[in-house]
A and B are shown apart, each in its own frame.
Chain A
Amino acid sequence: MARYGMVIDLRTCVGCQACSAACATENQTPYWSDKWRTRVLDIEKGEYPNTGRHFVPTICMHCEEPACLTICPSQATFRDENGSILVNYDTCLGCKACMAACPYGARYVYDKNDVAKNREIHGELSQHNVVHIDKCTFCFDRVERGLEPACVATCPAHTRIFGDLDDPNSEVAKLVASGIAKPLRPDLNTKPKVFYIY
């Protein structure tokens, strides 16, 4: 089994939001409520003349020690065989404990208004038919078919790199091993599998 992870190179991100759009299209996330599985933050820092503008793509870190998984009372949050953290919509209580527990803001409520709107848009092809807490799945269905996650495939700047962290020949494993790609807040001990180059 693989241990999928991602490297996000902030040096190359141009803030085009193509990843957010691709994800929303692929996964029917409720963009109409400004809720996203992945989004690109536009951060301005500093004071004139020393200012900077930075784009930071954010996404579920698919942690190895996920706070959202241990706190979930119904085990709706689970880890699949490839180490990705997924949600079983059928048993999710909607208690939002996972939202509170996630240090990376990766989750949101797919509420009844969002479900209704999604049905209105997608009809029988709707992927979200019940209220639940939603999050990134690393596009496991695409990955099963040998494709990359939608956000990775669509990125024009090769900012997002996806692969098997256990495969020493993969680009992600090499970047992580080199030390150039680092996890955010490793002190929280959640062991994220998304790494950043900045």
Chain B
Amino acid sequence: MAVENSLHFERQEAYEWPLAVYLLLGGIGGAFISLSFILHYLFSWSPVGNYGMLIGMGLFALAGLVLIFLDLERPLNAIYSLNNIKTSGISWDVVLIALSFGGAFFYVLPFYVSIPALEGLRLFFGGISAIAGFLFPVISGGLISAPVSVPLWHTPLLPVLFLINSFGVSVSAVPAIFGPGSEILAFIFNLAVFMANLVSLGGFIAFYEHAHNGPVEARYGFHEMWKKFNFQIGFLVVGLLFPLLLSGYMLFTGNFLSWGFGALALAQLIGGFALRNCLLKHGYHTYPWPY
């Protein structure tokens, strides 16, 4: 075990809770915008098309503010964040937020002001906004998972987990805010998202525990995270198990509780933060010093 003997674990100090909040708000914002566009365009659900888009825009704005004022050491230099669009995930995040926010703005505008020229382009703006919103949790997950320096994060499963988790919150929040629409459809969506959550989490566990080339370094951070109360209660119980049981109960008994969707959305929101925060917190650098 020469490799294991020469590994030096040191917790990363670059990303703290503000980045977890940014990832969560941005992810949910993007998912909200995508979902609102789909529900409006395919099911002509106008209140969602209007206010859902606005909520998504608000979440994006909030995410941007959190990143700039709580995470960046030099907020005013945020104007330089587009200098490296070729390779930087952060630059891409900024582009996606701008595209999604801008597209949503022009999509929502005709609800309030009649601009005939805009009518023909509405689908285009909505589509751009929805695609960029969908991509945001993927790219921001990619931003975290791309570097090889923190083995726990260095897996393509991370963007998938962020994407599914973001949509999980939004799928529950839409009926909680706007009424269930079709209750059965909403529940089926919820269950599908929960199952996807479970599958990705299972993929995570399999990756770290059973892969033949399973990185010893990544397993270290994973085990540390797994042991923590915040992860066990925050993500596994509140964010995953409780919504699964509640959703399953409501679907199979037909007893649609009035507070059900609100509780689902809130639980997943808490779980989403716990997941991101725990993942960031338990990212360990593995320094390769020879002794």
Residues of A within 8 A of B (CB): 10, 41, 43, 45, 52, 54, 56, 58, 67, 70-76, 91-97, 99-105, 109, 111, 130-133, 184-185, 188-190, 196, 198
Contact = CB atoms under 8 A, between A and B. Distances in A.
A161 B113 CA distance: 70
Given A71-B87, A94-B72, A100 B290 contact: no
What 4 A-B pairs come out closest when comparing CB atoms?
A94-B73, A74-B80, A101-B147, A96-B14
Interface in B134-156: 143-144, 146-150
Interface of B: 5, 8, 10, 12-15, 71-74, 77-78, 80-84, 87-91, 94, 143-144, 146-150, 283, 285-291
Contacts of B287: 58, 103-105
Contact of B83 (A45, A73, A189): A73
Contacts of B5: 45
Give the residue among A70, A93, A103 with the most B Cβ atoms within 10 A. Answer: A93
Nearest to A104: B287
A19 to B, nearest CB: 16
A103 B83 contact: no
Nearest to A57: B289
A73 B88 contact: yes
21 contacts: A43-B8, A45-B5, A45-B291, A67-B149, A70-B87, A72-B88, A73-B83, A73-B90, A75-B80, A76-B80, A91-B77, A93-B72, A95-B73, A95-B81, A96-B15, A97-B88, A99-B13, A100-B12, A101-B146, A103-B285, A111-B73
Contacts of A94: 72-74, 77
A95 B72 contact: yes
A43 B14 CA distance: 24
Contacts of A99: 12-14
A71 B90 contact: yes
Given A43-B289, A52-B291, 16 more contacts: A41-B289, A71-B147, A73-B83, A74-B81, A93-B73, A94-B72, A97-B88, A97-B89, A97-B143, A99-B12, A99-B13, A103-B287, A104-B287, A184-B289, A188-B148, A188-B149
B288 A185 contact: yes
Given A56-B290, A184-B288, A100 B80 contact: no
Contacts of A184: 288-290
Contacts of A10: 290-291
Give the residue among A58, A73, A105, A198 with the most B Cβ atoms within 10 A. Answer: A73
Given A105-B287, A188-B148, A198-B290, A73 B84 contact: yes
Contact of A72 (B10, B72, B84): B84
Contacts of B80: 73-76, 91, 93
A70 B143 CA distance: 11
B149 to A, nearest CB: 4
A72 B88 CA distance: 6
Nearest to A77: B84
A196 B290 contact: yes
Contacts of B8: 43
B288 to A, nearest CB: 4
A99 B74 CA distance: 15
Contact of B90 (A95, A109, A130): A95
Contact of A58 (B84, B87, B289): B289
A20 to B, nearest CB: 16
Give the residue among A70, A71, A131, A185 with the most B Cβ atoms within 10 A. Answer: A71
A100 B147 contact: yes
Contacts of A102: 149
Contacts of A52: 291
